[in-house]
Amino acid sequence: MSRRRHLVELRQAPPAVLPSLLLCDFGNLEHEVRKLEEAGVRALHLDVMDGRFVPNLTYGMPIVEACRRLTDLPLDVHLMIEQPQQYIKQFHDAGADVITIHAEAVDAPGEVLSQIRELGCGAGLAINPDTPVESIEDSLSLCDLVLVMSVQAGFGGQRFQSIALDKLRRLKQLVGDEVLLEVDGGINSETIHDCQAAGAQLLVVGSAIFRETSYREAVRKLTDLALPD
- The residues binding ligand DX5 (CB under 6 A) are 20, 22, 45, 47, 78, 151, 153-158, 184-187, 204-208
- Report how far apart, in Å, the C-alpha atoms of 40 and of each of 37, 101, 125, 138 are: 5, 27, 26, 36
Look at residue 125 and give the partner it binds from ligand DX5, Zn ion, none, a contact being a CB closer than 5 to 8 Å depending on partner kind. none
State the Rg of the chain over Cα.
Answer: 16
Task: Select which of 50, 76, 144, 184 is catalytic.
Answer: 184
Residue 50 vs 184, nearer CB to Zn ion: 184
Which among 43, 40, 41, 87 has a CA at the least distance from the CA of 62?
87
Nearest approach, Cβ of residue 210 and ligand DX5 (Å): 8
Q: 45 or 193: whose CB is closer to Zn ion?
A: 45
The site for Zn ion (CB under 5 A) is made up of: 47, 78, 184
Beta carbon of residue 176, minimum distance to ligand DX5 (angstroms, whole number): 25
Q: How many residues does the chain have?
A: 229
* 47 part of the active site: yes
Secondary-structure breakdown of the chain: helix, strand, coil percentages, each rounded to the nearest 5: 45, 20, 35
Of 25, 47, 72, 76, which one is the catalytic site residue?
A: 47
Residue number with CB closer to Zn ion (2 or 154): 154
Q: Which does 158 bind (CB under 5 to 8 A by kind): Zn ion, ligand DX5, none?
A: ligand DX5
Which does residue 64 bind out of ligand DX5, Zn ion, none, counting CB within 5 to 8 angstroms by kind?
Answer: none
What is the nearest approach in angstroms of ligand DX5 to the Cβ of residue 150? 8
Query: What's the min distance (Å) between Cβ of 48 and ligand DX5?
Result: 9
Which contacts qualify for 124-127: CB closer than 8 Å, 24 or more apart?
A: 124/76, 124/78, 124/98, 124/99, 124/100, 124/182, 125/100, 125/101, 126/78, 126/100, 126/101, 126/102, 126/153, 126/184, 127/102, 127/103, 127/167
CB of 1 to Zn ion, least distance (A): 26
Number of neighbouring beta carbons within 10 Å of residue 214: 12
Residue nearer to ligand DX5 on the CB measure, 114 or 212: 212
Point out the residues that are catalytic.
Answer: 47, 184
